[in-house]
Amino acid sequence: MGISPVLWQFLVKWLNASALFPSEASTIAPYMDALYFFLLSITGIGVLLVAVLLVVFSVRYRKAVHPVATQIEGSTLLEATWTIIPLGLFLICFVWGALLYFRIYNPPVNSMNIYIVGKQWMWKAEHPGGQHEINALHVPTGQPIQLTMISQDVFHSFSIPAFRIKREVIPGRYSTVWFQATTPGEYHIFCTQYCGTNHSAMIGTITVLSPADYKKWTEESTSGMSLAQNGERLFASMGCNACHSGNAAARGPSLAGVYGSKLLLNNGSQVLVNDAYLRDAILNPSQHVTSGYTPIMPTYQGQISEDGLIDLVEYLKNLSSNDRVQQTLTTSQSDQAAPSASGVVKP
Amino acid sequence: MDSAIANPHLDHDAAEHEHIVLPQHRHHFATEEQQREAGSFGMWLFLLTEIMFFGGLFFAYLLYRNWYYDAFVAASNQLSIPLGASNTAILITSGFFMALAVWAAEVRKKTLLVIFLIFTIVFGLAFLGIKYVEYHEKYEKHHIPGANFDVSEFINPSAYGLNEKPLPPDAAQKTQMFFFLYFAMTGMHALHMIIGIGLLFWLLARAQRGDFTNGYVAPIENFGLYWHFVDIVWLFLFPLLYLINRHPLAH
Amino acid sequence: MPKKNFINAEHGLLSWLLTGDHKRIAILYLISITVFFFIGGAFAGLIRLELLTPQGDLVSSDTYNKLFTMHGVIMVFLFLVPSVPATIGNFLIPMMIGARDLAFPKINLLSWYLYIAAGTIMLTAMALGGVDTGWTFTTPLSTHYLNTHVLTTAVAVFIAGFSSIFTGLNFIVTIHRMRCPGMTWFRMPLFVWAHYAASILMVLGTPVLAITLVLVGMERVFGIGVFDPTKGGDPLLFQHLFWFYSHPAVYIMILPGMAVISEVVSTFSRKRVFGYTAVAFSSVAIALFGFFVWEHHMFIMGVSNYSALVFSLLTMLVAVPSAIKIFNWCFTLQQGSITFETPMLYAFGFMGLFTIGGLTGVFLGSLGMDIQLTETYFIVAHFHFVMVGGMLMAFLAGVHFWWPKMTGRMYPESLSKLAAVVTFIGFNLTFMPQFILGYLGMPRRYHAYPQEFQVLNVLSTAGATVLGVGYLLPVLYLAWSLKYGAIAGDNPWQATGLEWQTQSPPLTENFPEIPIMDHEAYDYEWLEHKTQHEVTHVG
């Protein structure tokens, strides 16, 4: 062969490192790829059809062999054919795509929740157990994982191509996506919504571990306090416990067990108390007044970071009784009364 | 421009008998009637673009009024109904005079045309004058959105002698959204009025010269369309901005 | 070249700069958009050069962000939107319907001056340091997080928008009111139908962009929180307002290209366009449906799942009229008598590449598929296929097709065929790899990327180099032809349009006498009859 061995080596190394197709590392990936191949087939057939028509007609009816054109008005039958068949195919794509979309954006009930905060230009992942990661995410296989995401500044978008998932990360509201990883390994995390100077640097690695390895990792990398424990601390230090003390005559409603419940508001409407509701209630309390209470809660807009809000939300999610709230009432006059690390609150 | 065409009779086809080519007739049009219809159609289309332009603001208004109704009510109650209603009457009157001006041009009465145009301008300026008064009042009360916005009047209305429901602080902040839309929408409207009044002065000058009382009515007619459109926009703005949840004895 | 024509009717720079002649204005536009095309293209070249290597080593991140922003803004607003309508449309629509000019010549000239003002302001923004918001001005990045010349650029785009609105307004009134005797709607060339549809979009859609930019400007200057969640605003409101225009905008860009293809395919098959009515109505259908699909740019942005369903369905519907056109054009060839001059080559290129581009749009309209593909290079490939493989090829087809009419000269056929082939090859090499990159997950607007994407990026840059050559050639030989090209007759292609039945270049007043349209569109038998003794087919 005439190729220099150096060049050959270089080419081989280069081409081996280059992928033409992403690995399938989640449960949904094969479904996404199936739709992709269907769409590719339609496109291939469509382009082939057009190309064949162009070539065949060009050859058969070129001037040299077909000097006189026959004027034809049209054909309703053909019009109907090439309206209905493409429409039918596109509608199949619509239904299939819609089903896939609903699957990807509706997490199963037993999902483990991990919070993602995007900010210029890094990803912060916060596990409920208190593990914090930057531009990295460790997850186990075989467990549905929901990402609850929010941005601290501009639009970002969290993408894991190998899992075939992506969702915009928006300032001001939570967005969610879920996945279940299937194959241990390391995969790319990208920010895919242009967000300023270091948009291309806002990348990370998601490490998929076997359940055993994952358990080991959580134990090794905990910072000591779970999100909920941090939230409990904030709840006291920001004075929330003063009104939401759980006492009968308290100025604010008890928050124990409120997560997941259907709450009657003082404007007569009923809402489901989820993450978004809790976050909004802290920032815009006057629009989320529980029935029977007055709109006296101050807003914490600008006083808590998204991380802090996540801590509080996680705390409230797990709050089943007000006992510890009562305890911290008397100790929280100074703002650093932290409960012990091996607390009753579930990590 | 169209002076490139040497002979105006080139484009008369056989069916047209010899008649005086009107001085305003541009030669790319076959007939003056075609020109007039095209001009009118063009103005209607332009007004359609204006509807789409204002539409974006109306859409934002719809959204935020829906989200922050209480704040919008409180903020809207800060606007002066007497001034707003007066302005509505003034603008309608201005439109009435514009319609009279169109009539005067059509019946070729130059003096009347000039008078009516002047009245149109006067009432238009009166509208802008009252708007200035309103804007100034907002400035004094620190209700212009931005760094100097003052929410105290909404948190504690009774201290200001207002018979209003007090708003919690976070809702009170949302009154800024109302005021932003108020200034954006009425400001955009006022800008269109200023441009219109500028055009009116120009039309006035030409009317005084007799340009529009010899059969060439199109500019007056088409400007009339524009002026009535500006009027109609205000007729939507007034209730949407001034009359949110007003009660007869509230203020 | 004999006789008086619109070019030599008057002399001097002022006679051009103060003209009301739609043909002169078209030429002014042609020169200006070519200049901006190459500026935008230069930015593209730099982008591709940077992307040769995985590291961001050619320019800084900020500079790179400015490059793709300016590339997008210039190409969309200063090239694609006005390209066919303001040049070929301006020149031909009055002639095609037998009129002497557009309805409002002064507004036409104003439209050009607005374009020039917009371009100048944009160049000023660039010279002062550029803007890096992306052409999509996404908030809150553009309102609160950037220190670059956002406002200046927004003003430039605002002004360009009015240039576009006035062009569309002019076209609509002209088409409604100034058709010559006998020119019914269904005797008009399909070129006019497509421009009519595009004009409706220009007139109705662009003002929404204008107000959106005003809001962005006000938020930037006054710190209001219309789009700022910390002040109660909604960043998604911006997305809705922006895409309400910017989706119809893509149809504003492509419909005039389709307009050209109808004319070219018919002429070089010597056949009436197959399914005239279907093609005419499909243009209007695209315009109509085009207004109702904007949310498909926002499928993953946390919009309600049910609204996503509605918009996905509508997106599938809007794809159908385009398919109808492609097939009708293919079948125009059947039973025709086909020759392969340069415009026809570009038209073939359009049909193949637009089919790919359009069908990849179906990928993106399919909700679940969009999750993987959105915001990646798949999108970049998709829109370059429809805009460059589609629209730009159609533009070149049109420029070549009507070059003899506009200038009275023929372009050099062999060289132009070469350029067409080079462009086609370069284009595919540039953008096919980007589909693969997209599915692999390479995000858009990335300055640096993981190593494993390099091979495909290198292929893409290689293609871009070839493509650049393909675009440079026409500028050179078309300029050459102005002095040295063969003299073209009135109707070198033996085409049926009214514009071809008069001299090349045309008189200022277009026709010595207003024509009377007494035959159908694309009536080759009528043409045969008329020119029995004078067939002068050039090339």
Complex ipTM: 0.93
| A to B CB pairs, distance under 8 Å | 26
Please compute Rg for chain B using Cα positions.
Answer: 24
pLDDT, residue B158, reads 87
Question: If you average pLDDT over residues C267-290, what whole number do you get?
Answer: 96
Distance from CA of A40 to the nearest CA of C (A): 8
Band of pLDDT at residue B20, cut at 50, 70 and 90: low
Distance from CA of A314 to the nearest CA of C (A): 21
pLDDT, residue A331, reads 62
**A188 within 8 A of C446, measured Cβ to Cβ:** no
Band of pLDDT at residue B233, cut at 50, 70 and 90: very high
**B38 within 8 A of B47, measured Cβ to Cβ:** no
Q: Evaluate if residue A343 carries a pLDDT over 50.
A: no
pLDDT, residue B18, reads 46
Neighbouring subunits of A (3+ Cβ pairs under 8 A): B, C
Contact B168 A301 (CB under 8 A): no
Which of the residue ranges A335-339, B54-58, C430-434 would you say has the lowest mean pLDDT? A335-339
Q: Evaluate if residue A340 carries a pLDDT over 70.
A: no
pLDDT, residue B169, reads 84
Q: Which domains does chain A have, with CATH numbers?
A: 28-105 (1.10.287), 112-210 (2.60.40.420), 227-331 (1.10.760.10)
CA distance C50 to C52: 5
Closest-CA residue of A relative to C369 is: A97
pLDDT, residue A336, reads 46
From chain B, pick out residues whose CB is under 8 angstroms from the CB of A283. 170
pLDDT, residue A87, reads 97
Q: Which two tokens stand for residue C478?
A: 């078309």
State how far Cα C97 lies from the chain centre.
22
**C95 within 8 A of C7, measured Cβ to Cβ:** no
For residue C205, give the 3-state DSSP assignment. Answer: helix
Per-state percent for chain C, helix, strand, coil, to nearest 5? 70, 0, 30
Q: Evaluate if residue A333 carries a pLDDT over 80.
A: no
Q: Evaluate if residue B8 carries a pLDDT over 50.
A: no
From chain B, pick out residues whose CB is under 8 angstroms from the CB of C215. 56-57, 60, 184
Contact C169 B46 (CB under 8 A): yes
Give residue-wise pLDDT tens across range C386-422: 999 999 999 999 999 999 999 999 999 999 999 999 9
Tell me, yes or no, if B1 comes closer than 8 A to chain C by beta carbon: yes
Q: Evaluate if residue C280 carries a pLDDT over 80.
A: yes
Residue from A207, C292, C178, C412 nearest B31 by CA: C178
For residue C166, give the 3-state DSSP assignment. Answer: helix
Give residue-wise pLDDT tens across range A211-265: 999 999 988 887 678 889 999 999 999 989 889 988 888 899 999 999 999 999 9
Q: Evaluate if residue A345 carries a pLDDT over 80.
A: no
DSSP result, A88-127? HHHHHHHHHHHHHHHHHHS--TTPEEEEEEEETTEEEEE-
Q: Evaluate if residue B181 carries a pLDDT over 60.
A: yes
Which are the contacts of B201, defined by CB distance < 8 A and separation ≥ 6? B121
Band of pLDDT at residue B161, cut at 50, 70 and 90: confident
From chain A, pick out residues whose CB is under 8 angstroms from the CB of B169. 286, 298-299
Q: Evaluate if residue B3 carries a pLDDT over 70.
A: no
Which of the residue ranges A269-273, A278-282, A292-296 would you say has the lowest mean pLDDT? A292-296
Closest-CA residue of B relative to C511 is: B11
Contact C509 B173 (CB under 8 A): no
Q: Which of C296, C364, C367, C523 to mutate against chain A (most A CBs within 10 Å)? A: C367
Backbone angles phi, psi at C207, to 5 degrees: -60, -30
pLDDT, residue A338, reads 46
Band of pLDDT at residue B9, cut at 50, 70 and 90: very low
Q: Which domains does chain B have, with CATH numbers?
A: 54-242 (1.20.120.80)
CA distance B170 to C429: 56
Band of pLDDT at residue C175, cut at 50, 70 and 90: very high
From chain B, pick out residues whose CB is under 8 angstroms from the CB of A299. 168-170, 173
CA distance C119 to C132: 17
Contact A193 C375 (CB under 8 A): yes
Which are the contacts of C453, defined by CB distance < 8 A and separation ≥ 6? A18, C54, C437, C440, C442
Q: Evaluate if residue C2 carries a pLDDT over 70.
A: no
pLDDT, residue A1, reads 52
Contact A168 C450 (CB under 8 A): no
- Distances, alpha carbon A145 to alpha carbons A223, A243, B145, C29, C156, in Å: 21, 34, 43, 56, 46
Residue from A163, A173, A167 nearest A106 by CA: A167
pLDDT, residue C265, reads 97
Question: Which one is predicted more confidently, B245 or A91?
Answer: A91
Tell me, yes or no, if B133 comes closer than 8 A to chain C by beta carbon: no
**Among the partner residues C330, C334, C362, nearest to A50 by beta-carbon distance:** C330
Give residue-wise pLDDT tens across range A45-96: 999 999 999 999 999 999 999 999 999 999 999 999 999 999 999 999 999 9
Q: Which of C269, C371, C436 to mutate against chain A (most A CBs within 10 Å)? A: C371
Question: If you average pLDDT over residues C214-228, what whole number do you get?
Answer: 89
Give residue-wise pLDDT tens across range C336-374: 999 999 999 999 999 999 999 999 999 999 999 999 999
Q: Scan for tokens 């807009």, then name that residue.
A: A301
> 3-state SS of chain B?
CHHHCCCHHHHCCCCCCCCCCCCCCCCCCCCHHHHHHHHHHHHHHHHHHHHHHHHHHHHHHHHHHHHCHHHHHHHHCCCCHHHHHHHHHHHHHHHHHHHHHHHHHHCCCHHHHHHHHHHHHHHHHHHHHHHHHHHHHHHHCCCCCCCCCCCHHHHCHHHHCCCCCCCCHHHHHCHHHHHHHHHHHHHHHHHHHHHHHHHHHHHHHHHHCCCCCCCCCHHHHHHHHHHHHHHHHHHHHHHHHHCCCCCCCCC
Which of the residue ranges A176-180, A320-324, B36-40 would you say has the lowest mean pLDDT? A320-324
State how far Cα B84 lies from the chain centre.
14
Tell me, yes or no, if A318 comes closer than 8 A to chain C by beta carbon: no
Band of pLDDT at residue A10, cut at 50, 70 and 90: confident
Which are the contacts of C327, defined by CB distance < 8 A and separation ≥ 6? A78, A82
Distance from CA of B67 to the nearest CA of A (A): 9
Neighbouring subunits of B (3+ Cβ pairs under 8 A): A, C
Tell me, yes or no, if A59 comes closer than 8 A to chain C by beta carbon: no
Q: A62 exposed, middle or buried (CB, 10 Å; 0-12, 13-18, 19+)?
A: middle
Could you tell me which CATH class the domain C13-530 is placed in?
mainly alpha
Question: If you average pLDDT over residues C169-198, what whole number do you get?
Answer: 97
Distance from CA of C273 to the nearest CA of A (A): 8
pLDDT, residue A339, reads 44
CA distance A172 to A117: 11
**C446 within 8 A of A157, measured Cβ to Cβ:** no
Q: Evaluate if residue B13 carries a pLDDT over 60.
A: no
How far does chain C reach from its first CA to its final CA, in angstroms? 18
Closest-CA residue of A relative to C132 is: A196
pLDDT, residue A59, reads 96
Q: Evaluate if residue C375 carries a pLDDT over 50.
A: yes
**C141 within 8 A of C240, measured Cβ to Cβ:** no
- Distances, alpha carbon B35 to alpha carbons B39, C93, C173, C445, in Å: 6, 17, 10, 50
Distance from CA of B24 to the nearest CA of A (A): 44
What's chain C's average pLDDT?
A: 95
Which residue stretches of A18-75 are H helix?
29-60
Q: Which amino acid is at C168?
A: G
Which of the residue ranges A287-291, B19-23, C132-136 would you say has the lowest mean pLDDT? B19-23
pLDDT, residue A335, reads 45
Contact C226 B177 (CB under 8 A): yes
Closest-CA residue of A relative to C297 is: A168
Distance from CA of B159 to the nearest CA of A (A): 18
Contact C514 B11 (CB under 8 A): yes
Q: Evaluate if residue C43 carries a pLDDT over 70.
A: yes
Which of the residue ranges A144-148, B95-99, B161-165, C489-493 would you say has the lowest mean pLDDT? B161-165
Q: Evaluate if residue A346 carries a pLDDT over 50.
A: no
pLDDT, residue A65, reads 95
Contact C355 A46 (CB under 8 A): yes
Question: If you average pLDDT over residues C296-317, what whole number do you get?
Answer: 96
Question: If you average pLDDT over residues B178-188, what whole number do you get?
Answer: 95
Domains in chain C: boundaries: 13-530
Residue % of chain C over a pLDDT of 70: 98
pLDDT, residue B21, reads 66
- Using DSSP bridges, classify how beta strands A112-119 and A145-151 pair: parallel, antiparallel or unpaired: parallel
Tell me, yes or no, if B142 comes closer than 8 A to chain C by beta carbon: no
Which of the residue ranges B11-15, C261-265, C438-442, C486-490 would you say has the lowest mean pLDDT? B11-15
Question: Which one is predicted more confidently, A116 or B4?
Answer: A116
Q: Evaluate if residue B126 carries a pLDDT over 80.
A: yes
| B to C CB pairs, distance under 8 Å | 137
Q: C24 exposed, middle or buried (CB, 10 Å; 0-12, 13-18, 19+)?
A: buried
Question: If you average pLDDT over residues B130-148, what whole number do you get?
Answer: 92
Q: Which of B170, B174, B176 to mutate against chain A (most A CBs within 10 Å)? A: B170
The total number of residues written for chain C in this structure: 539
CA distance C460 to C455: 9
Give residue-wise pLDDT tens across range A102-146: 999 999 999 999 999 999 999 999 998 888 999 999 999 999 999
Q: Evaluate if residue C157 carries a pLDDT over 90.
A: yes
Buried b (16+ CB within 10 A) or exposed e, A36-55: bebbbebbeebbeebeebbe
pLDDT, residue B180, reads 93
Contact A284 B170 (CB under 8 A): yes
**Among the partner residues A50, A72, A194, nearest to C274 by beta-carbon distance:** A72
Q: Taken in order A48, A54, A55, A60, is the CA torsion positive or negative?
A: positive
Contact A299 B167 (CB under 8 A): no
